[in-house]
Amino acid sequence: MAPEMRTPLLVTDSRPADVYSFAKTLWIILTGEEYAFDGQFNYFENNRLQTKYPKQHFVELYKLLVDSTAENPEKRPTIDEFLNRLLEWESIAQNERAANKSLWGFIEKNVIQQTNPSTVIWRDKLQVVEILKQLSILNFNHTFIHEGGGMDLIDIKLFEEEIEKDMVILGFGFNMDHVFKVKRLIWELPNGDSEFSYFRLEFDKVNPIYPSAVEELEKWMKNQNFEYNNEVVSEDLIVNNNGEYELYYEDDEIAHFSITRWFDGSFLIVPKGSIYNSIQNTYDGRHSKFKAEDFREYMEILQYIHKHKILKRYFWDIANRDPFEEGLFEELKQIRFMTDEELKKN
């Protein structure tokens, strides 16, 4: 029952109360629960819908349930608005790209407790784990690895092995687990454009478990003339049945499980539908070659080019080029200061 109906003689319009009851009835039908939630809907504390339908997109429905069960009847939608928003939810939920974009924006809005910030930084390990858990929902993110390549973040939690404290373990599925110490998580909104927003996860520096093996690998990489990432910042290990680290070997039969342990570096997390994820050559790990502030500037430049009436035709060619070759990044910095006439001449 809507709260105002406790004093029905004071109610001049009962239609908002009908919307309130309709919202709770809809929730009961969808969840199969005997009773509805108390008070206004809270999607942080009430996850029964997502638990029952783990692959279903619910963002627009969550917002509708919140608005429809507001304490103040004047803040609730009309029944026509309610039905139209149900149809909107259905339409977005059936479009994977639209659903991913909606969910990413929903998470960003709710994990960032500030007023329209363009940069937010978290350093608390537990906060970082909780935020990344939300980003792993429904597997709609894509994570770029420090050394190149990318995978979809599936899970993250505290590393519970006694062998090493204060670490976090991040999973990509297929037994691809990564252990690291959190330095900070940075959220950026370059030029206020959500199509270019990203989370940058940076690892704190720790000592390698097998420094001599790391040195040997670095020497080998330098002999191979690798242009990228010739500084090794991770090691492949196993945790044996005694809970101890050992070097990883493919034919090892005593492993409890295998991990990649990072002692420096960064991952970049974006929504699958983002512009950055559509740039084919970003799998080169370029984000890790930039300092955090420089990478933000790089993304701001890409966003500027993507939206510019003259430059946008060249966007994909520029974005796919290595920003560190032939001084490209330094050249790109000048573009934002050039007039349209100067751009046309060049």
Terminal alpha carbon distance of the chain: 68
**Residue 228, pLDDT score:** 46
Residue 200: which of 185, 212, 189, 213 has the closest Cα? 185
Mean pLDDT taken over the chain: 90
Task: Determine the average pLDDT of the residues in 310-325.
Answer: 95
* More confident: 298 or 230: 298
9 pLDDT higher than 70:
yes
pLDDT cut 70: percent of the chain above it: 94
pLDDT for 249-282, tens place per residue? 765 555 568 899 999 999 999 998 899 999 999 9
Angle, vertex CA 112, rays to CA 122 and CA 285, nearest 5: 55
Beta pairing partners, 168: 158, 180
* CB-based burial, 17-55: b 16+ in 10 Å, e otherwise: bebbbebbebbeebbeeeebbeeebebeebeebbeeeee
Q: Label residue 230 by pLDDT band (50, 70, 90).
A: low
pLDDT for 130-148, tens place per residue? 999 888 875 678 999 998 9
Q: Using alpha carbons only, how large is the chain's radius of gyration in Å?
A: 25
Tell me the CA distances in angstroms from 178 to 11, 37, 335, one per residue in order.
58, 39, 38
Residue 232: which of 214, 216, 247 has the closest Cα? 214
50 pLDDT higher than 60:
yes
Task: Determine the average pLDDT of the residues in 160-180.
Answer: 89
Torsion angles phi and psi, residue 213, rounded to 5: -65, -35
Contact 311, 273 (CB under 8 A): no
Q: Retrieve residue 44's tokens.
A: 């942080």
- Write out the DSSP string of 300-342: HHHHHHHH-TTGGGGHHHHHHS-TTGGGHHHHHHHHTTS-HHH
**Residue 305, pLDDT score:** 96
**Residue 185, pLDDT score:** 97
Of 49-58, 99-108, 112-121, 158-167, the poorest mean pLDDT is in 112-121
- Tell whether pTM > 0.85: no
